[in-house]
Copies of this chain bind each other. A is one copy, B any other.
Amino acid sequence: MDTIGFSKHDHTVCIEDCVATIEAHCAEAGLQFTPTRRRVLEILLDQHKALGAYDILEVLRSEGLGSQPPVAYRALDFLVANGFAHKIEHLNAFIACCRPGQTHTAAFLICRMCKAVAEAPSTPARIALEGSAEAVGFSIEATVVEATGLCPNCA
């Protein structure tokens, strides 16, 4: 199984693993992993591309889990706030985090053709920025790195 990038992997296992990991993490941290939150995570994991809040809402609606925008946004806020998902600013869309539980600055490779998104290590990018930031007295709290281009499948 390969959780990173555009290559194929056993997706069922991928989803199960992630959900289990996050469930355990929530239990330990005293976070409520409610049915809606779990379902939104599953929906996100089900695709290796970024989904809009309204895409997710549509699924929730069809399953009777909620019908109004705040339902989706609240679950997404929870997932993002706890590092279980990321928002792709460039697409106004969301994606499950491949490495839940680890705090890390995320970087993304976004295919402009198929909208697939891969998460890449971004620590180097952040380190590169820290220099410039320090020089002007700016203290970085969060960094978003998003590269658009063509994935190997679409190239």
Contacts and interface: CB of A to CB of B under 8 A. Distances in A.
A132 B109 CA distance: 9
Tell me the interface secondary structure of chain A in the complex: mixed
A140 interface: yes
A124 B133 contact: no
Nearest to A125: B125
Interface string A34-46: 0000000000000
Interface in A111-144: 111-112, 118, 120-122, 124-129, 131-133, 136-144
B128 A6 contact: no
Interface residues of A, number: 41
A136 B118 CA distance: 9
Contact of A132 (B121, B131, B140): B121
Interface of A: 4-7, 89-90, 107, 109, 111-112, 118, 120-122, 124-129, 131-133, 136-152, 155
Given A125-B145, A138-B149, 13 more contacts: A109-B138, A111-B138, A121-B132, A122-B128, A125-B129, A129-B145, A137-B155, A138-B151, A138-B152, A140-B148, A141-B150, A143-B147, A144-B144
